[in-house]
Structure 1
Amino acid sequence: MTAHYDSFAEAYVAENETSILNAYYERPAMLDLAGDVAGRRILDAGCGAGPLSEALRERGAEVAGFDASAAMIELARQRLGQGADLRVADLGDPLPYVDGEFDDVVASLVLHYLRDWGPPLAELHRVLAPGGRLILSVNHPFAFHLSTGGSYFPVAEWPMEVELAGHQAVLNTWHRPLQAMTEAFSAAGFRIASVSEPPIAPDTPEARVESELGGRRRFVSFIFFVLEAAA
């Protein structure tokens, strides 16, 4: 999987920087949910090339990040500077951070790449201070049925064929129904503070809304959660 993403890291980043779903929908929604982060210690789990880390740092947060892809981390270092706390680490393994190190964790479009959410969520809970927040986005649970016609209820593999800045790629994701998500959160010791299905950002160019979204400002794509870590 890691080598797979290393192979198209630059194309993925080029698409992520400007695509309407990332630049005008997912990233603004994550920042809105994070709110005032000045002085907070934040871990960017699956940080990719670091656009969310950069935005959080600009808002006054102290940000660390990790990604399983060494190529993504190198691109993040180019963005954030060689002194940034960036590490190559896999969310499926124990993380290289101490217990309670962070006030918040952000996981932007990360968990849906994993079949098993149990150990990764437990690790994210471990590195959060009591009462800390896990702010995350994943594929909306109904998007799988809308896109493929597949059954909503089973956890199912969902390879997504995409074009990234002219590069054809397959993103190996997993669909899971809402109940499976919420049960995994509870089992890991999280309480759901917020569930969000926001509209696209208000500053999205109207021409792009018309040409790429058919004029819609609300649609089924991603779903967002704010979770609180129980003591």
Structure 2
Amino acid sequence: MQADLYDDYADSYARENASSLLNAHYERPAMIALAGDVRGRRVLDVGCGAGPLTAELRARGGMMTGLDGSPAMVEIARRQLGDDVPLHVADLAAPLPFADAAFDDVVASLVLHYLEDWGGPLAEIRRVLRPGGRLICSVNHPSVRAFHHPTEDYFATRPYTEDFEFAGEPVTVPFWHRPLHAMTDAFTAAGFRIRVVSEPAPSPTTPPELLPPRIATGERTAFLSFLFFVLEADGEGGSGSPVGAS
């Protein structure tokens, strides 16, 4: 996880995430729609950042818990969410501090593409989900990299970087590319069934001035950016000893 990066840019990233096209009007509405009715469901937000998705799902009745690798991001989330949402600083690449089958749903919003290895994190997410529970996640769409960099090997799992501005501050962010089949193989190896694969359009409430011109005019309906999955944990149940679970 890129905890040190987001510690350095926590405030500017939180501001960007709150209002940007890709976060506020594309990725987050899609995650909320895929989560559906979460009333009374125990939901873990891994990579919760400053807590915007946690807050939205809490407002819809979810019993929320948040986790992020960046202490600075968790501190912002505490200020945003108050004391009624348990928040944890923890690395998704390490054992999670929760008991087996502790949650009905896990949401992982733009998290997995920071990780070289998905096996351990997905096994831990599977462990803390009840049988039949859901993992709802979004990742960088693998086709985007292939489209913009056709000479690169699409089929290789490899690192790359992209340049962004967080609230006007330039930032270089490292990611891991993996092809679609490597994603689905990792999900099924960890004990998940793939229920939904989604490539949504932006939210219909997106301010027109934020949309790419061909979307705003109606010439096109959507754009490639992120890929979304709804996964169901198999019925075998979690295993292993949780670290730090009460």
TM-score greater than 0.5 by the shorter chain = yes
Q: What is the CA distance between 1:200 and its match in structure 2?
A: 0.7
| Runs of 5+ consecutive residues of structure 1 not aligned to the other structure | none
Match of 2:190 among 182, 188, 191: 188
Q: Does 1:102 align with 2:108?
A: no
So what's the TM-score if we normalise by structure 1?
A: 0.96
Q: Does 1:218 align with 2:219?
A: no
Q: What is the CA distance between 1:148 and its match in structure 2?
A: 2.7
Match of 1:205 in 2: 207
Q: Given the superposition, is the C-alpha separation of residues 76 and 84 from structure 1 closer, same or farther in structure 2, using an over 3 Å criterion?
A: same
Q: What is the CA distance between 1:217 and its match in structure 2?
A: 3.6
SS of residue in 2 equivalent to 1:142: helix
Match of 2:167 in 1: 165
Q: What is the CA distance between 1:192 and its match in structure 2?
A: 0.1
SS of residue in 2 equivalent to 1:100: coil
Q: Given the superposition, is the C-alpha separation of residues 220 and 169 from structure 1 closer, same or farther in structure 2, using an over 3 Å criterion?
A: same
Match of 1:227 among 200, 225, 231: 231
Match of 2:52 in 1: 51
* Counterpart code for 2:160: W
Q: Does 1:81 align with 2:70?
A: no
Measure, in 1, the Cα distance between the counterparts of 2:68 and 2:229.
21
Measure, in 1, the Cα distance between the counterparts of 2:216 and 2:61.
36
Indicate if the aligned counterparts of 1:209 and 1:217 stay in contact, CA closer than 8 A: no
Indicate if the aligned counterparts of 1:67 and 1:88 stay in contact, CA closer than 8 A: yes
Measure, in 1, the Cα distance between the counterparts of 2:82 and 2:198.
33
Q: Does 1:18 align with 2:22?
A: no
Match of 1:145 in 2: 146
| Runs of 5+ consecutive residues of structure 2 not aligned to the other structure | 236-246
So what's the TM-score if we normalise by structure 2?
A: 0.91
Measure, in 2, the Cα distance between the counterparts of 1:92 and 1:210.
36
* Counterpart code for 2:229: F
Measure, in 2, the Cα distance between the counterparts of 1:45 and 1:184.
18
Q: Given the superposition, is the C-alpha separation of residues 16 and 217 from structure 1 closer, same or farther in structure 2, using an over 3 Å criterion?
A: farther
Q: What is the CA distance between 1:151 and its match in structure 2?
A: 2.1
Worse overlay, 189-198 or 141-150: 141-150
Q: Given the superposition, is the C-alpha separation of residues 214 and 83 from structure 1 closer, same or farther in structure 2, using an over 3 Å criterion?
A: closer
What is the aligned-residue identity percentage?
55
Worse overlay, 26-35 or 199-208: 199-208
Match of 1:154 in 2: 156
Measure, in 1, the Cα distance between the counterparts of 2:216 and 2:62.
36
Measure, in 1, the Cα distance between the counterparts of 2:198 and 2:22.
15
Q: What is the CA distance between 1:172 and its match in structure 2?
A: 1.0
Ranked by relative contact order (alpha carbons within 8 Å, sequence separation 6 or more), the top structure is: 2
RMSD value, Cα: 1.3
Aligned residues: 231
1:57-72 equivalent positions in 2, closer than 5 A: 57-72=58-73
Measure, in 2, the Cα distance between the counterparts of 1:196 and 1:77.
31
Runs (4+) of structure 1 exceeding 4 A deviation are: 210-216
* Counterpart code for 2:115: L
What are the superposed Cα offsets for residues 200-225 of structure 1, whole Å, 9 maximum, x if unpaired?
11111223225596644411100000
Measure, in 1, the Cα distance between the counterparts of 2:5 and 2:224.
27
Indicate if the aligned counterparts of 2:208 and 2:216 stay in contact, CA closer than 8 A: no
